[in-house]
């Protein structure tokens, strides 16, 4: 089964997509975490939310057959961080 994956015609295309998509996603993680901290301003939290939704849109670039559900789940992680930090800032923690 693994040999079939590596000999498939779409595997190089999937790897090329990962080469461009993963560094872009990792490059957006740090600003999202930094901008959504509880003591940040409202404008920076909006920017962090937009970047998190951009990452969710970016996960559509991954190939469904190659990426699997677990890889796509990590693109929703920054949105969860934004929501948790928004709740923390509203409760004063």
pLDDT (tens digit per residue) in 26-68: 787 888 888 888 888 889 888 988 888 888 877 776 655 555 5
Residue 55 inside a domain? The answer is yes
Residue 7 inside a domain? The answer is no
Residue 39 inside a domain? The answer is yes
- CA pair distance 29, 14, nearest whole angstrom: 22
Model's pTM, two decimal places?
0.65
Residue 43 inside a domain? The answer is yes
- CA pair distance 44, 62, nearest whole angstrom: 28
4-28 average pLDDT score = 72
- Split at pLDDT 50, 70, 90, the class of 2 is low
Residue 1 inside a domain? The answer is no
Residue 51 inside a domain? The answer is yes
Confidence at residue 22, expressed as pLDDT on a 0 to 100 scale: 74
Residue listed under structure tokens 């948790």 = 84
Whether residue 7 has pLDDT greater than 70: no
User: Over pLDDT 70: what percentage of the chain?
Assistant: 70
Number of domains comprising the chain: 1
- Split at pLDDT 50, 70, 90, the class of 70 is low
Domain that holds residue 86: 15-91
């Amino acid at each position: 089964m693994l040999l079939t994956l590596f000999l498939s015609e779409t595997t190089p295309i999937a790897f090329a997509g990962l080469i461009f998509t993963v560094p872009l996603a990792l490059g957006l993680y740090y600003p999202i975490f930094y901008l959504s901290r509880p003591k940040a301003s409202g404008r920076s939290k909006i920017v962090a939310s937009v970047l998190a939704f951009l990452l969710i849109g970016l996960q559509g670039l991954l190939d469904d057959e190659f990426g699997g559900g677990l890889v796509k789940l990590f693109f929703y992680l920054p949105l969860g961080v934004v929501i948790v930090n928004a709740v923390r800032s509203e409760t004063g923690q």
